[in-house]
Amino acid sequence: MDNSNNFESFTCPIPIGKRNEVSIGHGSGGSLTKSLVDSIFIKYFSNDILDQGNDFADITPVENTNDFRLVLSTDGHVVSPLFFPGGDIGRLAVAGTVNDISMSGGIPKFLTASFIIEEGFPIDQLEKIAESMKKCSEEAGVFIVAGDTKVVEKGKADRIFISTTGVGYVIKDLFINGTKAQPDDSVIISGTIGDHGIAVLAARNELGFSTTIISDVAPLNSLIQTSLKAAPHIHVLRDPTRGGVATTLNEIALQSNVKIVLDEEKLPIHKQVQGACDILGFDPLYVANEGKVLIIVPNNEEDAVLEALQKHPLGKDAAKIGVVESIENYPIVLMQTVIGGTRIVDMLTGEMLPRIC
Amino acid sequence: MDNSNNFESFTCPIPIGKRNEVSIGHGSGGSLTKSLVDSIFIKYFSNDILDQGNDFADITPVENTNDFRLVLSTDGHVVSPLFFPGGDIGRLAVAGTVNDISMSGGIPKFLTASFIIEEGFPIDQLEKIAESMKKCSEEAGVFIVAGDTKVVEKGKADRIFISTTGVGYVIKDLFINGTKAQPDDSVIISGTIGDHGIAVLAARNELGFSTTIISDVAPLNSLIQTSLKAAPHIHVLRDPTRGGVATTLNEIALQSNVKIVLDEEKLPIHKQVQGACDILGFDPLYVANEGKVLIIVPNNEEDAVLEALQKHPLGKDAAKIGVVESIENYPIVLMQTVIGGTRIVDMLTGEMLPRIC
């Protein structure tokens, strides 16, 4: 945080504010900022590094850099509504960045969090979000080591936005990235698709009917480390968030210069998600996920990774959904449909569901 | 960025948009996001690491961690207006995080940038901001290695917010932080105070008269490395941003459990800044700076650091402004005034100038 945090001896604590709302003064960098930081962020995030109370966090590597490389990732979070079935913006902010780091095959260690808050935002909601971030950080085994708080006038932001950045370590010789997909590789998804997008839509009351779908938002680092143990030659890991499975596979096809062929019949889709998509005219392949990973792996490790995934609580619905083939004219994603045809699965154009993450 | 960036072979580039404005689709994570990222962010920020095109940046340490520690810092930027005399939100976002890292005595190396953009924001302004970030990154010798773009509906954010996170290296045995101020240390400021706050106010036309004050926003890493060479036993470095010199010195007094006594006569203040403050009833001690550093140093290195600062273009107005003394009852900042009295200099309470950074 921009202010020092370990002021136990300070004899005149200033109350957060009279109205239980975030005020412009809470973003001043002065004593009101300190009271907000202490009473909410330090209360939940406290750890030895954060509590140093400087403008920087000293994260002296715990890993020897002869054995590990360092990876870095950032994400802004603007989801609306802030609270939805299965999660909230706090859980999303922690899990989202933990997952981006995990897609390198690496182990996330440290997070930073930058809060931009609208004047008048209820302190009790801020506390719920901080508590959720703490819980998710514990699940993922990461520490929030630095933060920042800004407050803007009423009407100049939509309640709260959170940007998180993560630092992680990856084993020196492990190079997993979007360029590594090869012909004959298998394409695996760790579970049902589209749950997050439909859960957020339901929370917005945009479905016109009720569902029991909950968001899949979860930190995937443990699932991925389990997969890597079972299948050490994984080529690509990527989480199909905004733009969904279709957009993510198109990115990989382009980066690796390959053709990817999906089998529609094999796509794991929750019945209620499929039902909601049918009514709304959405394709679940484009709906965002926040707790799923696409794994592209040599076919001789396909069984091992599927077995490992299915034993993990976050991977029980894992399935092989396609294969990588040699490029013909240009990188492309195709799908063999249930009625026996083949169609092109394009990248998302425009926007189907804004502010889903 | 959340999308791959090195798609030279992609034969059907999608135009940014018809209206030269950021649209909701630019935040979709799909092809419109890719076109915006490629045509603005990659155009200006391109480097080997960013161009990897993954959800994570591989920043394999360039420094041997037997010799260096790693430091991390984050800041959100919501300044209004976006462009002001001497800088803009882009320069602020890069310099602000470079400076936080530099306050450890470390050398900033890598930045991430998370953009939250209001629908309808002009693309040409976004490009100006990206260009300014590029220029400031080059000045500071840092690379933007990962980013994220979110777009919210018109009226749900105030044009653009930028959160930056920095990673840097600090020499293993160099421990500079807010707890190290000691009695008899000298308190030095690298130049005139309050310039940034008054320049932003002037840009908002809130002064009621015109000034030629420009913001001091600048990356301080070179100035600080120069100071450290001249005075290797510096105890504390901190940039007096939000809350100004008064709040920053109060934080240090609390962290180090000392008394700090300022000499009002010695405070370097630009005449126009003092004039604006007199008219508005502001105390320049509470006005934000974005290109100044407070240095607390053993008095036997005071001359060396002042000489080094004054030779540097960013430190020509550097001055000794006070001393550290032993604590009496509680940590406190006092000021000997020009009229011969002594007054308490408190931490900022409430907010004088919102959205200054």
Q: How far apart are CA B39 and CA B36, in angstroms?
A: 5
Residue B172 clears pLDDT 70, i.e. is over it? yes
* Residue A357: closest C-alpha in chain B: B150
The shortest CB-CB distance from B116 to any of A27, A76, A106 is to A76
With CA atoms as reference, report the closest residue to B269 among B334, B229, B213, B222: B213
Phi, psi of A238 (to 5 degrees): -155, 140
pLDDT, mean of residues B226-252: 97
pLDDT recorded at residue A19:
61
The shortest CB-CB distance from A247 to any of B25, B30, B348 is to B30
Inter-chain touch B161–A157, beta carbons under 8 Å: yes
Inter-chain touch A73–B64, beta carbons under 8 Å: no
Note whether A115 contacts B: Cβ–Cβ < 8 A.
yes
Residue B210 CB neighbour total at 10 angstroms: 9
* Residue B351: closest C-alpha in chain A: A25
Measured N-to-C along each axis, helices B89-102 and B221-230 cross at an angle, to the nearest 10 degrees, of 30
pLDDT recorded at residue B30:
85
Give one word for B86, left, alpha or beta, with left for phi > 0 and alpha for psi -120 to 50.
left
pLDDT recorded at residue A120:
96
Order of strands, edge to edge, in the sheet holding A236-238? A236-238, A294-297, A186-189, A319-325, A259-263, A332-336, A342-344
Q: Residue B62 — pLDDT band, cuts 50, 70, 90?
A: low
Q: How far apart are CA B26 and CA A276, in angstroms?
A: 25
pLDDT recorded at residue B17:
52
pLDDT recorded at residue A126:
98
The shortest CB-CB distance from B116 to any of A55, A101, A161 is to A161
Tokens standing for residue A200: 């957020």
Q: Find all residues with CB under 8 Å of B161, minimum gap 6, and list them.
A: A116, A150, A157, A161, B76, B77, B78, B115, B116
Helix or strand or coil: residue A200? helix
With CA atoms as reference, report the closest residue to A180 among A12, A59, A294: A294
List the beta bridge partners of residue B333: B260
Residue A63 clears pLDDT 80, i.e. is over it? no
Chain A residues inside the 8 Å CB shell of B255: 4, 6, 53
Compute the half-sphere exposure of residue B74: CA atoms within 13 Å on the CB side of its CA. Answer: 33
Domain boundaries, chain A: 24-171, 185-344
* Residue A79: closest C-alpha in chain B: B152
Burial class of residue B8 in the structure, from the number of CB atoms within 10 Å of its CB (0-12 exposed, 13-18 middle, 19+ buried):
exposed
Note whether A13 contacts B: Cβ–Cβ < 8 A.
no
Inter-chain touch B158–A158, beta carbons under 8 Å: no
CA B323 to chain centre: 25
Tell me the shortest Cα–Cα distance from B161 to chain A, in angstroms.
Answer: 8
Chain A residues inside the 8 Å CB shell of B155: 155
The shortest CB-CB distance from B167 to any of A23, A24, A72 is to A72
Q: How far apart are CA A141 and CA A105, in angstroms?
A: 15
Q: Which amino acid is at A313?
A: P
Q: How far apart are CA B219 and CA B232, in angstroms?
A: 20
Phi, psi of B175 (to 5 degrees): -120, 95
* Residue A70: closest C-alpha in chain B: B60
Chain A residues inside the 8 Å CB shell of B151: 354
Chain A residues inside the 8 Å CB shell of B4: 178, 251, 254-255
Whole-model pTM? 0.94
Q: Which CATH superfamily is domain A24-171 in?
A: PurM-like, N-terminal domain (3.30.1330.10)
The fraction of chain A above a pLDDT of 70, given in percent, is: 93
Phi, psi of A320 (to 5 degrees): -80, 125
Residue A91 clears pLDDT 80, i.e. is over it? yes
Chain A residues inside the 8 Å CB shell of B104: 54, 56, 58
Cis peptide bond prior to A81, omega within 30° of 0: yes
The shortest CB-CB distance from B56 to any of A24, A55, A71 is to A71
Q: Residue B348 — pLDDT band, cuts 50, 70, 90?
A: confident
Q: Which CATH superfamily is domain A185-344 in?
A: PurM-like C-terminal domain (3.90.650.10)
Inter-chain touch B30–A65, beta carbons under 8 Å: no
Candidates A115, A163, A179, A247, partner chain B, best to mutate (most B CBs within 10 A):
A163
Interface of B with A in 231-250 (CB under 8 A): 238-239, 241-243, 247
Q: How far apart are CA B85 and CA B70, in angstroms?
A: 34
Residue B12 clears pLDDT 80, i.e. is over it? no
Residue B76 CB neighbour total at 10 angstroms: 29
Chain B residues inside the 8 Å CB shell of A181: none
pLDDT, mean of residues B232-241: 97
Mean pLDDT of chain B: 92
| A21-50 as b/e: b if 16+ CB within 10 A | bbbbbbbbbbbbbbbbbbbbbbebbeeebb
DSSP B114: E
Q: How far apart are CA B1 and CA B165, in angstroms?
A: 14
Q: How far apart are CA B356 and CA A151, in angstroms?
A: 11
